[in-house]
Amino acid sequence: MTFPKFCEHSAQPSDRLALLLAISNEAVSIFAQRFNLPKGHRLELPSQVSATLVVISGSLSIRTLLPNGDEAFIGEAETGDLVGEAFAFDNCDAPLFAVAENADVEAWRFARGHFAKAFDVSPEFARAVARAMSRRLCTTSQRIIEAAMLRMPQRLAAELLRLAEMEGQELTITRLPTHQNLALRIGTQREAVTKELGRMRRAGVIRRQGATLQLIGSTWRN
């Protein structure tokens, strides 16, 4: 298998923690509140309680709604990632919601306008936000490239590699998303994902045990 090279922009843990450290500054934290989003729950943005989120722990699936009512996967927000910053600076009306798929998620939440006010009191916060936005743009660009260049089996393989990388495991995904969720991530149908995972298993390039999926063989290594 051959894939486009993954985005390695700002992959160091210290970079992901920079935004959280900036929010811990008392001058910034007065504009934010900590909250928990239970597993399986979703939060529309902007809402009465929040316009912008910064993930403290856990992982959020970020989605939008298409004109026909279908959901479209935009990306994933992990520790130190931003969600909904467009609502802090302008009257963006694009539908956006965050879903805690695998576990409870803890995050900082900023009401509309408060996120922008924090820029005025902390240059460190502004720089950390810019780096977080740049990191996400890099990942989004990678997904666009994959959608344009790769056929469905390659997109699925690339997504499996990305999930293993996110967990920090060596070619292992300990919490494999549902087939429906994988289909949403790569823009295809659940049946197509099920069929391709079955083909991969028969070919001996994946091994599944419960919710854990292992990627087997040298073809997975760039």
pLDDT tens sequence across 140-159: 888 888 888 899 999 999 99
Instruction: Name beta bridge partners: 209.
Output: 212
Contacts of 6 (CB under 8 A, 6+ apart): 142, 161, 162, 165, 222
Tokens of 91: 């009257």
Q: What is the pLDDT of residues 181-205, one digit of tens each?
A: 999 999 999 999 999 999 999 999 9
CA distances from 62 to 74, 78, 154, 158 (A): 5, 11, 22, 19
pLDDT in tens, 87-134: 887 777 788 999 998 899 999 999 988 998 999 999 999 999 999 998
pLDDT at 164 over 70: yes
Place of tokens 């936005």: 133
pTM: 0.83
Confidence of residue 10 (pLDDT cuts 50, 70, 90): very low
Amino acid, res. 56: I
Query: Is the pLDDT score of 6 beyond 70?
Result: no
Residue 220 pLDDT exceeds 80? yes
Phi, psi at residue 146, to the nearest 5°?
Answer: -60, -45
pLDDT of residue 12: 56
Q: Rounded to an integer, what distance in angstroms lies between the CA atom of residue 193 and that of residue 88?
A: 37
Q: How far apart are the first and last CA of the chain?
A: 9
Local structure of 127: helix, strand or coil: helix
**Least confident among 26-40, 115-129, 164-178:** 164-178
DSSP string, 31-75: TEEEEEE-TT-EEEES-SS-SEEEEEES-EEEEEE-TTS-EEEEE
Instruction: For residue 16, count other CB atoms closer than 10 A to its CB.
Output: 19
pLDDT grade for 61, boundaries at 50, 70 and 90:
very high
Taken in order of first residue, the domains within the chain and their CATH numbers are 13-144 (2.60.120.10), 151-220 (1.10.10.10)
Judge whether residue 178 has pLDDT over 70: yes
CB 78 within 8 A of CB 132: no
Sign of CA dihedral 169, 170, 174, 176: positive
> Can you read off the two tokens belonging to residue 132?
């977080």
